[in-house]
Amino acid sequence: MAMRRSVRKRLDQLDATNTRAKSRIVKGKERARRDARMAEKLRAGELPYGPAVMSWLSRQLDKKSSRITQDDVKTLLS
């Protein structure tokens, strides 16, 4: 006998909730590693940085990458 639709839906929702909880932990650790790696690259060089660093900076500072100045980078690092 097949499962009822309501039971299957509840099980799917429970599975999705568990998956999100696990992913939240993993992604949090990944973000922390990326933040540390990008900060290290910022300390090592000066503008212009590579595309990955500029994209990260843009998200952190909420500015377009063409508008980012070295002073913005210094304030972010301090």
Sequence-distant (6+) residues with CB within 8 A of 9 are none
**CA-wise closest residue to 78 among 43, 44, 50, 29:** 43
Q: Which residue has the tokens 């500015």?
A: 63
**pLDDT per position as a tens digit, 6-59:** 999 999 999 999 999 999 999 999 999 999 999 999 999 988 999 999 999 999
How do residues 2-18 score in pLDDT, each as one tens digit? 889 999 999 999 999 99
Classify burial at 57, counting beta carbons within 10 Å of its beta carbon; exposed 0-12, middle 13-18, buried 19 or more: buried
Q: Give the per-residue pLDDT at 75.
A: 93
Q: Residue 78: what pLDDT?
A: 86
